[in-house]
Structure 1
Amino acid sequence: MRFETFKQGHLRVFITKQELSVHDVRPETLAVGKGQDLLRNLLEEAESNFGFHAVGTLEFFVTFFPNDGMLVDVRREGELPEETFDEFDQVEIRMTVDIVHHVLYQLEEFEDVIQASHGLLRHVPMTETGGALYYFEGRYYLYFEERMAEALERTITTVLSEYGVPSAKSPLAMAEYGKTLQRSDAIKMIAGTFSV
């Protein structure tokens, strides 16, 4: 588990595909059995490492990326009560699960975009759009909106994971509030313009 964000009452954790496989967790099993055990482990680790108390109402927003893993966004409603907590505190959990079939990766630097583009160049002729590139909140995003064949999606996400991380952000928000640097054929354009 990779804890990406921790603020008072807000936790964001990425769980790899390998970890999900070890725990035998799939979207349909998340709310029962081993899925509950995994979320309980997540909350215990968050409490011991970050002081995140699982009390009150917790909203779980879970985004599954079939070839990468799962992003868990946990938000606690309201303020923490003043009294101390014990193991019998009531916790209400509300969960929203989304399975994302498009490919959207966040890359920190433009150099990462160039490297990823050269790595993807020979695979993009098999895609419909050739990829879009956005700049949003100080980061770059490579986006393939189509649903690809499983083998192609696995290849593309494997290359992208060397240079960035999957993102659960909305491409619509990026198109609306960020900068659209290239709407289609971004990989071909970048690899053709910038050498490695």
Structure 2
Amino acid sequence: MRFEQFKQGHLRVFVSRQELSVHDVRPETLAVGKGQALLRNLLEEAESNYGFQAVGTLEFFVTFFPNDGMLVDVRREGTVPEETFEEFDQVEIRMTVDIVHHVLYQLDNFEDVIQASHGLRRHMDQTETGGTLYLFEGTYYLYFQEQMKQSVERTVTTILSEYGQPSPKSPLVMAEYGQTIMAEQAVSTLATTFSQ
């Protein structure tokens, strides 16, 4: 698990596909049995390593990426009471689960986009759009709107994982508020323009 704490009462955790496999957790089993055990471990680790207190009402926003893992966004409502009595405190958990079938990766700089494009180029004939490139809030995003064959998607996400990370942001936000740098065939265009 990779933890990122944004501020008090809010953290994000990325759980890899391998970790989900080890714990035998799938979207449909997240709220029961092994899924609950994984979330409990996540909260215990967040408390011991980051001081995140699991009290009151916790909102879990879970985004599953079939070929990568899942992103868990945890927000605590309200403030932590000055005195907590662990044996009496109850935690209310609300959970929203989303399964993302498109591919949207965040890449921190343009050099990473170029390098990823060189790795992806030979696989673009197996995609419909060849990739869309957005710039949003100073970060680059490569987006494939279509649902690809599983083997192609696995290859594409493996290559993209070397240069960036899956993004839970909505592509609609990119299209509405971001800058569209290349609407289609972004990978081939970049690989050709910036030859190695």
1:166 is matched with 166
Q: 1:130 to 1:11 in 2, by over 3 A?
A: same
Aligned ranges 1:1-196 → 2 under 5 Å: 1-196=1-196
Letter in 1 for 2:190: I
- Structure 1 residues 87 and 192: alpha-carbon distance in aligned structure 2, compared to 1, 3 A threshold: farther
Query: Any conservation in 2 of the 1:43–1:54 contact (CA below 8 Å)?
Result: yes
Letter of the aligned partner of 1:12 in structure 2?
R
User: What are the Cα deviations for residues 118-169 of structure 1, in whole angstroms up to 9, with x where unaligned?
Assistant: 0000000110000000011111100000001100000100110010000000
Q: Tell me, which stretches of 5 or more residues in structure 2 are unaligned?
A: none
Cα distance in 1 for partners of 2:41, 2:176 equals 37
TM-score w.r.t. the length of structure 1 is: 0.98
Q: Extract unaligned runs of 5+ from structure 1.
A: none
- Deviations 1:45-71, CA, capped at 9 Å, x for gaps: 000111100011100000000000000
CA distance in 1, matches of 2:162, 2:75: 29
Question: TM-score, normalized by length of structure 2?
Answer: 0.98
1:81 match: secondary structure: coil
- The question of whether the paired residues in 2 share the 8 Å contact of 1:6 and 1:50 is answered with no
In terms of mean alpha carbon deviation, does 108-117 or 77-86 score higher?
77-86
Q: Distance in 2 between matches of 1:153 and 1:186?
A: 17
Aligned Cα RMSD in Å?
Answer: 0.9
Offset, 1:85: 4.3
Distance in 2 (CA, whole Å) between partners of 1:61 and 1:183 is 29
Q: State the shift of 1:86 in Å.
A: 1.7
Displacement of 1:89 after TM fit? Answer: 1.2
State how far apart, in whole Å, the 1-side matches of 2:16 and 2:43 are: 17
Cα 1:183–1:85 change in 2 (3 A) is farther
Amino acid in structure 2 at the alignment position of 1:50: Y
In terms of mean alpha carbon deviation, does 175-184 or 15-24 score higher? 175-184
Identity of aligned residues (%): 79
Q: 1:167 to 1:87 in 2, by over 3 A?
A: farther
CA distance in 2, matches of 1:73, 1:85: 26
Per-residue deviation, 1:176: 1.1
Q: Moved runs in structure 1, 4+ residues, more than 6 A? A: none
